[in-house]
Amino acid sequence: MMDLRNMKNPVLVQIPDEFLQLQKEVAEHPELLETLRMREEPPSVENYFGTVGAYCEVILDGAYSMDDLIDLCDVLIRKLREKRKAIITLN
């Protein structure tokens, strides 16, 4: 863990709750986790959203504001939950 006491001008950023919810939902999809690990460790923001979007069959293109990313998180969370329900139903 980084020691903030030794940093000059540390910047603290509040992470939107939707990002944390997305991360929790991604953790429920082992195939997606493996794909994310294969791409780069840790994945860049672009690769993370692109990989999750592809897994959810959501096409992404362009530049996104923070509000756009929060909305995208909601869409991806919903899609991931639908995929998880489908997997449970098939079992």
pLDDT digits (tens, 9 = 90+) for 1-22: 556 566 777 777 788 999 999 9
In a domain, 52, yes or no: yes
Q: What is the pTM of this model?
A: 0.79
Domains in the chain, number = 1
- Count Cβ atoms below 10 Å from residue 56 Cβ, excluding itself: 19
44 phi and psi, to 5 degrees? -70, 165
Q: Is residue 11 part of a domain?
A: no
Residue 39 has a pLDDT of: 77
83, two tokens: 């995929």
Spatial distance between the Cα atoms of 83 and 71, rounded to a whole number of angstroms = 19
* Successive 10-residue mean pLDDT values, the chain, 91 residues: 66 89 96 88 87 96 93 97 76 56
| pLDDT score, position 40 | 74
Q: Token pair for residue 28?
A: 């429920």
Structural domain includes residue 32? yes
- Domain residue limits at 62: 27-90
* pLDDT for residue 64: 93
